[in-house]
Amino acid sequence: MARQGKKSRNGTFWAKALERAHLGVWDWDLVTGDCFYSATWARMLGYDESELANTSDLWLQLTHPDDRERALASGDRHIAGLTDAIETELRLKHKQGHWVWVLDRGGVVERDAMGKPLRLMGVQTDISKQKAAEAELEQVNVRFRLALAASGTGIWHHDLAGGKSYWDERTREIFGLVSDTAEVERDHWFGYLHPDDKEAASRAHLVPLETDKVTAVQYRIVRRDGEVRHIESLLRFIADPQIRDRRLAGQILGTVRDITEDKQREQELAYAARHDALTGLLNRAAFDRLLADHIAAARLLPLSVFYVDLDYFKALNDFAGHAAGDLALKSVAQGILGCLPATAHAARLGGDEFALLMPNCDAAQAGRLADAVLAAVRDAELGSTATSRKLAASIGIAFVDDADTTVADALACADDACYAAKAAGRNRFAVFSTDTASGSGGLNAARIVADTVDAMEDGRLKLFGQEIHLLGRPWQESRHVEVLARLAARNGRLVPPGEFIPVAERFGIASRLDRWIIRTALSRHGA
């Protein structure tokens, strides 16, 4: 009784074990052709045990067409003695119509005296969830690989236990390595490093093993063809969960991305932010920062600030067009650069205005540089459409020897001196002086006379007629008109002659003003 109870208990035990493990058992008698399928196998496919026949080809009828050949081949190879066991994955059709992935494992459990197989047994495990997880993981991997391909990112890893490194195809492309194998020598990467980046890059690649922190590093490599490329790399240590000592196992996983074009764009943007697009000279903002830095550096004092304003540029631009004007500006810029010593700087402030900065400069040096710039402007290339035009410059020079001077004050002084040069006849330079800058006849007068000269050329000098009546005689018998000049300022205000004519007389342009008035009056009224 005790022995029978033990058998009964063992049978119950195995039945429950199969039930709890969701294992479907099959038992195929190769002699009779009958095949037993356990109740758990039937329920795995949504059937009651009584709904299925115990035939050897039942499982094949329920197998997905794409899996039948592979499943049959696995059994045939085992029966032929070519494999130790049957093991294959296949899909079986559920009663509700969907497919259930199963892992089929089994083998010969009984042979005759000659060794011929008589009986096969096996179990099938539902692996649908595992397959779904694998499919989801594959989708993630596909998206990941697509993202890597789109970003041009390569992946490499170094196995600490084996001491081997592996580069994927994209990594090998970035480094210019021609190889059909992913395995590379451990120190192969070091040989590509730019000499100036070896120390920093090597130090950054010493990833701390006690943390999972991601390390980012940028460095340059020199490919075998001599081309220098900029690389961005992300590094992380991946621990082996089975080994506690991180120094003995795990891997360093890294990505590499060629950022050479990004670096070039950064440099181009940085250059564009500091330079004038037309001439290539510094722009106003960059010049202001540079001037501020020079003023703050006592070792560079005294320094000279030049304000260069082109003469006759508007007339050239109106006569020959903007293309000729742009050509003239570029030619002037190149001429100025050709005059500068190594320590000096030039900028285009806007329009036809330029600025120069020369550190440790005395009056004699400034004068020589100004003369050279004036000559360069006169010799500027104006193009075939403007051969009859001329170009000159008025230059104002201000000296800065006090570190408390502001950028605005330094430029204002040079600008005022430039007006003085224009008032004195153009095509010359003037040096800022506090003596000439004081009083109503100083820099304000220089600005007025310079504006007067410009007004004669651009049409802002206006003529008005005032009738003169002789007492005792009819107007028809004696017609006289007094011609009056009014200056239209750049802001639109009419400047009365009492403001600009005395200044014109002081600066020696009164006769020129007279000739302009007479010529204009006669051309309009004919005589």
Dihedral, CA of residue 186, residue 187, residue 188 and residue 190, to nearest 10: 150
- Distance of alpha carbon 32 from alpha carbon 56, whole angstroms: 9
pLDDT at 61: 94
Quickly tell me which residue has 């006289």 as its tokens: 480
Which residues are bridge partners to 89 per DSSP? 103
pLDDT at 386: 65
pLDDT at 10: 63
Listing DSSP states for 40-80 in one string gives: HHHHHTT--GGGS--BTTHHHHHB-HHHHHHHHHHHHHHHT
List phi, psi (to 5°) of 355.
Answer: -140, 145
pLDDT single digits (tens) 163-207? 888 999 999 999 998 887 888 887 788 899 999 999 999 888 887
The neighbour count for residue 90, using CB atoms within 10 Å, is 22
pLDDT at 399: 95
Residues in the chain predicted with pLDDT less than 50, given as ranges, are: 1-7, 437-441
pLDDT single digits (tens) 444-488? 666 777 788 888 888 888 888 887 777 767 766 667 778 888 888
Contact criterion met (CB below 8 Å) for 42 and 64? no
Determine if the pTM surpasses 0.75. Answer: no
The neighbour count for residue 158, using CB atoms within 10 Å, is 22
Peptide bond into 302 cis (omega under 30): yes
Residue environment code for 109-128, b if the CB has 16+ CB neighbours within 10 A, otherwise e: eeeeeeeebeebebbbbbeb
pLDDT at 359: 96
List phi, psi (to 5°) of 219.
Answer: -160, 170
Which candidate, 380, 383, 305, 318, places its Cα nearest to that of 349? Answer: 305
pLDDT at 1: 35
Structural domains of the chain ordered from first start = 14-132 (3.30.450.20), 152-264 (3.30.450.20), 279-438 (3.30.70.270), 461-525 (no CATH)
Residue environment code for 417-434, b if the CB has 16+ CB neighbours within 10 A, otherwise e: bbbbbbbbbbbbbbbbee
Class of residue 5 by CB neighbours under 10 A (exposed 0-12, middle 13-18, buried 19+): exposed
Query: Which runs of E-coded beta strand occur in 95-224?
Result: 99-111, 117-126, 153-159, 164-167, 183-184, 215-222
- Distance of alpha carbon 158 from alpha carbon 109, whole angstroms: 46
Query: Which runs of E-coded beta strand occur in 171-311?
Result: 183-184, 215-222, 228-238, 251-258, 303-311
Listing DSSP states for 371-438 in one string gives: HHHHHHHHT----GGGTT---EEEEEEEEE--TT--HHHHHHHHHHHHHHHHHTTSSEEEE--TTTTS
pLDDT at 4: 44
pLDDT at 3: 43
Contact criterion met (CB below 8 Å) for 120 and 106? yes
